[in-house]
Structure 1
Amino acid sequence: MRLKDANVLLIDDDPDVLMALRLLLKPNVAAITTEKSPGNIPGLLARESYDIVILDMNFNGLVNTGNEGIYWLNRIKEINSDTIVVLITAYGEIDIAIRSLKEGASDFIVKPWQNEKVLDSLKELVKTQKTSSRPARMNVQNDRIIGESEEIQNIFSKIKKIAPTDANILILGENGTGKDLIAKAIHENSSRKDKPFIKVDVGSLTSTLFESELFGYKKGAFTDAREDRKGRFELANGGTLFLDEIGNISLTQQAKLLTVLQNRQISPLGSGESIPIDIRLITATNLKISELSDEFKFRKDLIYRINTVDLVIPPLRYRGNDITLLAKHFLGIYGDKYNKDELKLDKSFLQTLKSHPFPGNVRELQFVMERAVIMAENKLLTEKDISFSAIESAPQLLENEEVKLETVEKNTILKVIDRNKGNISKSAKELGITRAALYRRLDKYDL
């Protein structure tokens, strides 16, 4: 690793020291975070991955351990033993600074320091640091995709290849696998990262809202259109448009979307004007690609438009030790949120998590960890502190079954109409219903 790729955390209660180090390091590292209070260290490390922590030795006696620097050094190493920790010390405290090296510090800076020596020392530390043992992370603004499993490493590798391009991406995966984080990661690692990232859950849009939300409208276009409004395509211009649950839109909506993607321009409702658009399109669905290939449900020409490259996100149950990494990550977040930083995970707790199939994937694990932290009565969490949600059980299966029955009816109607070459009377007779009943179903499914 190089110093210019490092993410650095500076901790000192002296604002002058923070400013001096920030000015020194800013041109030489990837990112810098400054913090005056060491008490915020656990929360900071839970939310972000830092390569280097530069830490003062003394903080006004807030911790009675004989030396605050040693205390916080140990806390940092407990959270991530591979973090490079450099301590800031005065000349009279060199004996304690040397002791800190035995405790796990990588180096120390003696005040007043020489800028070039500090930079040379940090360059050497990151050059020799072993990073292979650290869980791989891909930063996405304030969120992180965490994992070291082969399955998630393959996703990281693909993101690095496709992000710099403008290829349209289709993300496939079960609910709760983090498809929205993957979409953000692609955007944040692309040349469009400084432009807008606009997300739309198109699966929740009714047929009447679909056009107005995506393409915008002019004042007076319909009853409640009291002013001009830009659609999501126009808001995302120059950046990335992420259409989630793309598999749930109707054939009529698919046709409208296909026209826009082919022509690269939109026409707001109530306007004859065509507006050119420049967007990178990312879509996602929890359906399998084989389900999308059903021409009675999804247009093949649209699949080819949105699916230059597809990413299949693995479910959590296939990601092995990532369950442990994510559990510890959420423990840090919720331990900080609920002022329970002292909590630890027993082996029985982790073994129970690993044996659970997690039908709700990472989202379910997150809720399990939050509940465990809130309800914890002891500092060591055991298997008894785990309470799995009933949300993923029978009621949801019944709901899914109902959706499947509607899908069967819809597909049957389409097949019969196709077989009768569009003749509604013959189709209604073959289906055993009246023409009026068939028209009602066509309207219901927006066919």
Structure 2
Amino acid sequence: MSMLPSARLLIVDDEEDMLRLLKRSLTADLNCEIEAVPDAVSALTLLESSRFDVALADVRMPGMDGMEFLERTKTAHPELTVVMMTAYGSIDLAVQAIKQGAYDFITKPFEHDKLVHLLGKAFERTRLIHENLLLQKRVREQESFQEMVGTSPKIRKIFETIKIISNTDVTVLITGESGTGKDLAARAIHRLSQRDQGPFVAVNCPNLPENILESELFGYKKGAFTHAAQDRRGLFREAEGGTIYLDEIGDISPTLQTKLLRVLQDKEIRPLGQTKSVKVDVRIIASTNRDLAAKIQDQTFREDLFYRLNVLSLQMPSLRERPEDIPLLIQHFLEKYSKEFGKPLKRASDEVIQIFLSHPWRGNVRELENLVSRAVLMSPGEVIREEDLDWPIRETEECLVPAEVSFLPYKEAKAQVLEKFNREYVSRVLMRNNNNVTKAAKECGLERQALQQVMRRYAIRNKELLSNEDAE
């Protein structure tokens, strides 16, 4: 008989003599640990603090009977295999118990060998359940890595590279399109490194004006500028012994680039208003969705800073480069948001999966996650269908230059095509970013003011956008 290591049996019966008999006779034959209790309440209490593989419980007991015990046990401990004991003449009750989740039942008085055989099968069932759960866990582990999901060659290569990078303490530059998971990669590198017990401080560089970003990064002395009412350590010092993650490093000003270069070279910072530098022990991870080589060419990014940052690099693949991961990502986000929104686990219809597989995903995994989360929240049934998707996922097959435009004068035709392009392009980008102008501008590769000018020129405005602009 194949038994679980340290297999444990819980016996529940209100007859003391039966408990002693069963415990004495079964211990040797089953080669397992046995606990015996005289009532269901005691059994439930014991199950809360101890692990058992099989429970053998009498149906008829004073107070809480075996049926109620079974119901509570299957709710709180579904992996526990329960065998019911019943007196002759209570067969109907035993059959009902099986319908409610009992593995099997045995009638009293019972033959010892028959009971041993039945309990042996019950232990085997529990063993198979444990093996299945372990297998499922291993499959999930193979499909995910540090909150990143996928099995494609490109993403598996990223996982392996992160493991290698984590064993070092040098600066890392993570590149890739918006929404590809650069922040998840940075956090994974930190968690797997020797600095994992230290802080992880994330800084979104474009979100702060230059003067505020500088004071936030390096700190300041009281009185260094107006409203500097007290000393501030700064984020570099807050990250002492850990990692600081500079998100979208390609957007910082030339002045900040120079100061950051000094930090990378000398491992020290100088808070605003202070004459002495302060040594810092932090690992720097930076990311960008910009083409830094092009920015170096047009002299908007320092070449020496680039080489200081790019000691080790990680290029995150776009979702278009790993379409085979889309079904796994869909399932991952369905599970995540069904649980988060307190809804039954939903699934995507085959039609929706095919639509997702054919979509270009300009916003990458973030765009996919946003769409799935909205679909989980808004879909009325357990299956998410195309009509539950709240924005037009299919790419238009319409020609960029409609036939009727070709009959217009060149300048007029050009103006109409450009207006149509700008309206549709900007509207879609805004929709993907929940009408957040700052995030939409970042995805477009434009400055926020430039995107606002396009919006004003083509009257791309509504109440929601106006309220977002006011809030920002």
Say yes or no: TM over 0.5: yes
- State yes or no: 1:363 paired with 2:366: yes
Q: Is the Cα contact below 8 Å between 1:200 and 1:244 reproduced in 2?
A: yes
Q: CA deviation at 1:204?
A: 2.6
TM-score normalized with structure 2 length:
0.61
Q: Which runs of 5+ in 1 are unaligned?
A: 1-12, 25-53, 74-84, 109-121, 407-447
Q: CA deviation at 1:167?
A: 1.5
Q: CA deviation at 1:252?
A: 1.5
What's 1:138 paired with? 145
What is the CA deviation profile of residues 217-275 of structure 1, one whole-angstrom value per residue up to 9, with x for unaligned ones? 11111110111111111000110010001000122211111012111111111112221
- State yes or no: 1:351 paired with 2:354: yes
Counterpart code for 2:104: D
What is the CA deviation profile of residues 195-236 of structure 1, one whole-angstrom value per residue up to 9, with x for unaligned ones? 000011122332211321111011111110111111111000
1:95 to 85, 101, 104: 104
For the residues of structure 2 that align with 1:300 and 1:131, how far apart are their CA atoms?
A: 44
Cα distance change, pair 133–370 in 1 and its aligned pair in 2 (3 A) = closer
Q: CA deviation at 1:386?
A: 2.0
What's 1:288 paired with? 291
Q: Give the match's secondary structure for 2:286.
A: strand
Q: Is the Cα contact below 8 Å between 1:56 and 1:69 reproduced in 2?
A: no
Q: CA deviation at 1:387?
A: 2.8
Q: Is the Cα contact below 8 Å between 2:296 and 2:303 reproduced in 1?
A: yes
Counterpart code for 2:157: N
Q: CA deviation at 1:370?
A: 1.6
Cα distance change, pair 306–72 in 1 and its aligned pair in 2 (3 A) = same
Q: 1:122-201 to 2 correspondence within 5 Å?
A: 131=138, 135-139=142-146, 144-201=147-204
Cα distance change, pair 88–219 in 1 and its aligned pair in 2 (3 A) = farther
Counterpart code for 1:327: I
Once the two structures are overlaid, the 10-residue window that deviates more, 385-394 or 210-219, is: 385-394
Q: Is the Cα contact below 8 Å between 2:202 and 2:247 reproduced in 1?
A: yes
Runs of 4+ more than 6 Å apart: 54-58, 66-73, 96-102, 124-130, 389-392
Cα distance change, pair 291–388 in 1 and its aligned pair in 2 (3 A) = farther
What is the CA deviation profile of residues 81-127 of structure 1, one whole-angstrom value per residue up to 9, with x for unaligned ones? xxxx953657866638888899x86447xxxxxxxxxxxxx7x8899
For the residues of structure 2 that align with 1:208 and 1:326, how far apart are their CA atoms?
A: 39
1:250 to 243, 253, 256: 253
Counterpart code for 1:95: D
Q: CA RMSD in A?
A: 4.0
For the residues of structure 2 that align with 1:191 and 1:173, how far apart are their CA atoms?
A: 26
Q: CA deviation at 1:344?
A: 2.4
For the residues of structure 1 that align with 2:144 and 2:211, how far apart are their CA atoms?
A: 41
1:317 to 317, 320, 329: 320
What is the CA deviation profile of residues 115-144 of structure 1, one whole-angstrom value per residue up to 9, with x for unaligned ones? xxxxxxx7x8899889468642123xxxx1
Cα distance change, pair 266–384 in 1 and its aligned pair in 2 (3 A) = same
Q: 1:5-404 to 2 correspondence within 5 Å?
A: 14=44, 16-21=46-51, 87=80, 89=82, 95=104, 106-107=127-128, 131=138, 135-139=142-146, 144-294=147-297, 296-388=299-391, 393-395=425-427, 396=429, 400=444, 403=447
Q: Is the Cα contact below 8 Å between 2:103 and 2:122 reproduced in 1?
A: no
Cα distance change, pair 128–370 in 1 and its aligned pair in 2 (3 A) = closer
Task: Indicate the structure (1 or 2) with the bigger Cα radius of gyration.
Answer: 2
Number of residue pairs the alignment of both structures matches: 330
Cα distance change, pair 163–401 in 1 and its aligned pair in 2 (3 A) = closer
For the residues of structure 1 that align with 2:308 and 2:257, how far apart are their CA atoms?
A: 11
TM-score normalized with structure 1 length:
0.64
Cα distance change, pair 389–14 in 1 and its aligned pair in 2 (3 A) = farther
Q: Is the Cα contact below 8 Å between 1:265 and 1:277 reproduced in 2?
A: yes
What's 1:43 paired with? none
For the residues of structure 1 that align with 2:332 and 2:137, how far apart are their CA atoms?
A: 21
Once the two structures are overlaid, the 10-residue window that deviates more, 392-401 or 265-274, is: 392-401
For the residues of structure 2 that align with 1:56 and 1:298, how far apart are their CA atoms?
A: 68
Q: Is the Cα contact below 8 Å between 2:83 and 2:104 reproduced in 1?
A: no
For the residues of structure 2 that align with 1:255 and 1:180, how far apart are their CA atoms?
A: 24
For the residues of structure 2 that align with 1:86 and 1:333, how far apart are their CA atoms?
A: 23
Q: Is the Cα contact below 8 Å between 1:86 and 1:107 reproduced in 2?
A: no
Q: CA deviation at 1:369?
A: 1.0
For the residues of structure 2 that align with 1:178 and 1:299, how far apart are their CA atoms?
A: 25
Cα distance change, pair 284–18 in 1 and its aligned pair in 2 (3 A) = farther
For the residues of structure 2 that align with 1:16 and 1:228, how far apart are their CA atoms?
A: 55
For the residues of structure 2 that align with 1:278 and 1:237, how far apart are their CA atoms?
A: 5
Once the two structures are overlaid, the 10-residue window that deviates more, 372-381 or 161-170, is: 372-381
What is the CA deviation profile of residues 273-297 of structure 1, one whole-angstrom value per residue up to 9, with x for unaligned ones? 2211011110000113433442602
Q: CA deviation at 1:403?
A: 4.2
Q: Give the match's secondary structure for 2:275.
A: coil
Q: Give the match's secondary structure for 2:380.
A: coil
Counterpart code for 1:329: H
Q: CA deviation at 1:166?
A: 0.2
Q: Is the Cα contact below 8 Å between 1:233 and 1:277 reproduced in 2?
A: yes
For the residues of structure 1 that align with 2:263 and 2:234, how far apart are their CA atoms?
A: 13
Cα distance change, pair 307–344 in 1 and its aligned pair in 2 (3 A) = same
Q: Is the Cα contact below 8 Å between 1:218 and 1:225 reproduced in 2?
A: yes
For the residues of structure 2 that align with 1:367 and 1:128, how far apart are their CA atoms?
A: 30
Counterpart code for 2:309: I
